[in-house]
A and B are shown apart, each in its own frame.
Chain A
């Protein structure tokens, strides 16, 4: 079984500042890793994914994440945030053989002017 831990329930940050949202996972098998964003009253949109290869993954809207197998982490970063980045961010994991996604509890990113 897999599990995902997002330690920060809320991250406040000023506009144009850098941000890191933390994600740690647990799994006894190889996994794929994902970050999704959810805007108010909307579904989930994929930001980026790690399947294999380079551990640094670039996604949409200027986000990137780094897979660290030894620390079982997949932290999300953005060098300069915008007000429009205010949303809920979910880290998710799935094993390589089945499409069931296991999500963390989410991190609310609050960007203020």
Chain B
């Protein structure tokens, strides 16, 4: 059973550019959530995908968008990058919704916007 993997691990982008981050969910998991963790802060919920549809969103602008594919892997896209978008982006996958559902986190992608 493979865990949650994210790519790339690090990247540097220029303000105004667009970026795509990728996440492969753990085997058997059909729910993927994305979180942004700014330096010195706790993770903040961006959105969640369940069976290829967005089913919840945090307080992030529309330039943060996502996709989930039939194999339940996911992408996070950020347009018009701003300096404040510099953060660790974490992906978490979980099994079909239920009370005893645990979210498994990937290692994260460290995005630096210059």
A-to-B contact residues, CB < 8 Å = 4, 32, 36, 41-46, 49, 51, 90, 92, 96, 98-106
**Given A99-B33, A102-B45, also A46-B90 (CB < 8 A):** no
Query: What residue of chain A has the Cβ atom nearest to residue B94's Cβ?
Result: A99
Per-residue A-contact encoding for B92-114, CB less than 8 Å = 1, 0 else:
10100101111111111000000
Query: What residue of chain B has the Cβ atom nearest to residue A96's Cβ?
Result: B99
Is the beta-carbon distance between A51 and B100 smaller than 8 angstroms? Answer: yes
CA distance A42 to B108 in the complex (A): 7
**Given A106-B41, A106-B42, also A100-B105 (CB < 8 A):** no
Query: What residue of chain B has the Cβ atom nearest to residue A106's Cβ?
Result: B42
A43 contacts which of B56, B99, B102, B106 (Cβ < 8 Å)? B106
**Given A43-B90, A98-B56, A99-B94, also A51-B42 (CB < 8 A):** no
Interface of chain B, main secondary structure:
loop
Query: What residue of chain A has the Cβ atom nearest to residue B101's Cβ?
Result: A99
Is the beta-carbon distance between A100 and B42 smaller than 8 angstroms? Answer: no
Is B48 interfacial (CB 8 A cutoff)? Answer: yes
Is the beta-carbon distance between B100 and A104 smaller than 8 angstroms? Answer: no
Of the candidates A45, A46, A92, A99, the one having the most CB atoms from chain B within 10 angstroms of its own CB is: A99
Is the beta-carbon distance between B106 and A104 smaller than 8 angstroms? Answer: no
Q: Can you give 29 A-B contacts (C-beta < 8 A)?
A: A36-B105, A42-B107, A43-B90, A43-B105, A43-B106, A43-B107, A43-B108, A44-B105, A45-B105, A46-B102, A90-B42, A90-B43, A92-B42, A99-B31, A99-B33, A99-B48, A99-B56, A99-B101, A100-B33, A100-B45, A100-B58, A101-B33, A101-B43, A101-B45, A101-B103, A102-B45, A103-B44, A104-B42, A105-B40
CA distance A78 to B54 in the complex (A): 39
Known: A90-B42, A100-B48, A106-B41. 12 other contacts (CB 8 A): A42-B108, A44-B90, A44-B105, A46-B102, A46-B104, A99-B48, A99-B97, A100-B58, A101-B35, A102-B45, A103-B44, A106-B42
What chain A residues lie within 8 Å of B100 (beta carbons)? 51
